[in-house]
């Protein structure tokens, strides 16, 4: 296996009987042994190919995750500063619709209970959620990640990004809302809204 790319078996169709290279036919046990040797060699070559491909992919993934994490930290700092400077009384970040890139939505707000934390944050029925704390379209796991974020952040601020339909001519706007899950609002649950997966 010095040269992984050199073929060990002639390729293509043959009309000659299978031989061991000395011009004589092989017996059934010899053919079976040769078959096992070839399968072993194919398996070894496949393993080498798999490990090379997987290691290359894994190193690229590791670099991408590190870059994403670094850019995410920078974005958190920028969003925090911008939120303090540009939010209005309802917690809606008026600058978010201009500055952030559009992420695909993964959930839709079905209902909002009056006087709930969700209503106070500015959520409306029909809003499409693109980010809920650390949950987004790539990792929400049928909204179980949203439930986890809510449970882990009771009485703490969560940033929720939504797409909201506006006038038909303008399409939709991206809003960044500040939601604080809590029990003491007088209704069931911590949010007072119902989300549906998309």
Give the lowest-confidence range in 66-70, 143-147, 149-153, 182-186.
66-70
How far is 107 from 145, CA to CA, in rounded Å? 12
- What letter would DSSP give residue 41? H
CA angle 140/84/66 to nearest 5° reads 45
Per-residue pLDDT, averaged over 121-129, amounts to 91
pLDDT at 184 over 60: yes
Quote the pLDDT of residue 140. Answer: 76
DSSP letters for 144-185 = HHHHHHHHHTTTS-EEEEEEEE--TTT-EEEEEEEE---STT
The residue-averaged pLDDT of 9-30 equals 64
pLDDT in tens, 52-111: 556 566 666 677 777 766 666 555 555 554 554 444 444 444 444 444 456 888 889 999
| Mean pLDDT along residues 16-43 | 76
The reported pTM is 0.48
Q: Nearest-CA neighbor of 163 among 189, 139, 137, 184?
A: 137
Quote the percentage of the chain above a pLDDT of 90: 19
Are the C-beta atoms of 190 and 117 separated by less than 8 Å? yes
Q: pLDDT at position 161, please?
A: 92
Mean pLDDT of 149-174: 85
Supply the pLDDT for residue 121.
Answer: 92
Could you tell me which residue, 167 or 182, shows the higher pLDDT?
182
pLDDT of residue 159: 92
Q: Which ranges constitute the DSSP H helices of 87-167?
A: 96-99, 117-121, 144-152
pLDDT of residue 173: 84
């Amino acid at each position: 296996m010095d040269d992984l790319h050199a073929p060990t078996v002639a390729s293509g169709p043959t009309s000659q009987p299978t031989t061991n290279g000395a011009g004589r036919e092989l017996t059934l046990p010899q053919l079976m042994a040769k078959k096992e040797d070839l399968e072993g060699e194919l398996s070894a070559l496949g393993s080498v190919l798999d490990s090379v491909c997987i290691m290359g992919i894994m190193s690229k993934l590791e670099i991408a995750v590190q870059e994403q994490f670094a850019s995410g930290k920078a974005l958190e700092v920028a969003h925090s500063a911008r939120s303090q400077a540009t939010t209005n009384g309802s917690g809606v970040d008026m600058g978010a619709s201009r500055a952030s890139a559009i992420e695909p939505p993964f959930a839709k707000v079905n209902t909002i209970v009056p006087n709930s934390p969700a209503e106070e944050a500015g959520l409306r029925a029909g809003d499409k959620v693109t980010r809920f704390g650390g949950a987004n379209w790539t990792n929400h796991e049928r909204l179980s990640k949203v439930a986890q974020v809510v449970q882990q952040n009771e009485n703490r601020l969560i940033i929720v990004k939504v797409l909201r339909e506006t006038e038909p001519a303008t399409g939709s706007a991206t809003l960044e809302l500040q939601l604080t899950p809590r029990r003491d609002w007088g209704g069931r649950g911590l949010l007072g809204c119902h989300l549906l997966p998309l």
